[in-house]
Amino acid sequence: MNYPIYLDYNATTPCAREVIEEMLPFFGTHFGNAASKSHPYGWIAENAVETAREQIANLIGARPKEIIFTSGATESINLAIKGTFEAYGNVKQHFITAQSEHKAVLDTFLELEKKGAEVTYLPVDSEGKICLDSLENAILPHTKMICLMWANNETGVIHPIQEIAEIAEKHDIIFFTDAVQATGKIPVSTKGIHLIALSSHKFYGPKGVGVLYVRHNHDLPKPLAQIHGGGHEKSFRSGTLNVPGIVGLGKAAEIQNSSLEQEGLRLEKLRNQLEMGLLQIPNTKLNGSQTSRLPHVTNISFDGVEGEELLKKINQKVAVSSGSACTSISPKPSHVLKAMGLNPDLGRASIRFSIGKYTTEKDIEFTISWVSEVVEKLRKSS
């Protein structure tokens, strides 16, 4: 198949070659169950899992015992939020999040509301930023958790995580962050944070494996398990471990940790080149902040064209999306852009371009040319 240029790295990333090589023996030669403690097959698998646990811990500044393996970020998010709700038991509970969070977070809170929890959804401004004063003013005597993502998956906007952590600590509240888009792209630290979700396939590891970081040595409740049956992962998440996937996740973490700054600068340069070229097209607009954002993402609105047709045409030669991969089949405008105040038509005519490890300057030049051509033709025919 003749694939288009890939500029949808926020949806998923390809497994790095070194990651695949590291995983392969654990599908065959080293096929043991990491929970089999009585023979070498299990010992080798367990040792590989513990090595990966250290590699992830090193990437985010955690201790290995604070790393809990899951099937991915959605499971980690459900464990963090639902597990915390259940840990507090039958008392009045209030949670704070934002309107621009990923659907995995928003939908989980909708489920909690059905069970009686109160949830405050903070608004964001036209750049997708929250107001810290509004956050602090939203805190109630029975607030149990602040849940705000590290970096937005559609715009790349980065929240002021350290300041949010300080607010949570001041009020003795659990702080949980969805760091899926930030991990492996920018420095991520666990300082002041109780729970962090991340996903392997967003930074060149395999799909189907993720992590929930659970901070130790604090007095606030830890989440209760949502999957039972064997007490694996310190009883936070039962089930036979996906050893090949975990090995790949660990290797991906190690690779990204060694090249974080250098690759970030390269991607930022390419992203700026792409953005400048696309914004030269008349009646285009950048969605989000120009300053506090991830180095590899830009989200641009194209006025005067129909969104579904725009996306279809661009994807003939350049693979992009109109927002989260989880909602890409929906014709509705992005809930993130809606929260930022974009009108529905412009929201539908917005494209997220996310670049990565294998993006070249030639790819950027072609994309600028192709998108310009598509937009011009669509405007002429409308």
Sheet with 67-70, edge to edge strand ranges: 67-70, 210-214, 195-199, 174-178, 143-147, 94-98, 118-122
135 touches 164 (CB < 8 A):
yes
User: How would DSSP label each residue in 16-78?
Assistant: PHHHHHHHGGGTTTT---TT--SSHHHHHHHHHHHHHHHHHHHHHT--GGGEEEESSHHHHHH
Exposure string (b/e) for 140-166, b if CB count within 10 Å is 16 or more?
A: eeebbbbbbbbbbbbbbbbbebeebbe
- Which of 15, 131, 147, 326 is flagged as catalytic? 326
The beta strand positions in 252-331, using DSSP E, are 284-286, 297-302, 318-319
Whole-angstrom distance between the N-terminal and C-terminal Cα of the chain? 32
To the query of whether residue 326 is one of the catalytic residues in this protein, the response is yes
Classified as helix, coil or strand, 174 is: strand
With beta carbons less than 8 A apart as the criterion, state whether 47 and 247 touch: no
Q: Are strands 118-122 and 94-98 parallel, antiparallel or unpaired?
A: parallel
CB 115 within 8 A of CB 93: no
Strands 350-354 and 297-302: antiparallel
Please give the Cα distance from 167 to 207 (Å, whole number). 34
Catalytic residues: 326
